[in-house]
Amino acid sequence: MDVSTYLAEGGTDIYCDLLVPRRVPVEVVFESPTIIAFWHSRPTHEYHFVVAPKRHVADIRSPDTDAIWADVLSALKAVLDLIPVTAAGGRVITNCGRFQQSKHLHFHVVGGRQLSS
């Protein structure tokens, strides 16, 4: 099943249901026992990665985040290190509440030139 079909059928957590168990292909760039990071399937920038905990955590405000912060920061650093210095740095972005399309904590790590839409 692809992500579009999953969402059209009412799926709400592509991370737990599809991405972490690799039911859809992802190009993994970092993995630990608790965190997975991969290239975004529809990048907005030359370098666009997603970093997410493997177990379900709703969003950044969840009390469940306390146990994984060190792992999250380590993964974010490793992924930021994949963006060349010549790409002028990187950004880490997360959303919560009504701004969060997928109800699973995840971070977008972007860098390089913005791609046209």
Structure tokens at 98: 């009504």
Q: Could you give the number of structural domains in the chain?
A: 1
Q: Is residue 31 part of a domain?
A: yes
Q: Is residue 51 part of a domain?
A: yes
Q: What pLDDT was estimated at residue 117? A: 64
Q: Is residue 87 part of a domain?
A: yes
Q: Does 106 participate in catalysis according to the annotation?
A: yes
Q: What pLDDT was estimated at residue 8? A: 81
Query: Cα–Cα distances in Å, from 55 out to 78, 86, 109?
Result: 20, 34, 20
Q: Is residue 8 part of a domain?
A: no
Which run of H or E residues covers position 50?
A: strand 45-53
Q: For the chain, list residues with pLDDT below 50.
A: none
Q: Is residue 21 part of a domain?
A: no
Q: Is residue 19 part of a domain?
A: no
Identify the active-site residue in 40, 56, 106, 108.
106
Q: What is the domain extent for residue 71?
A: 26-114
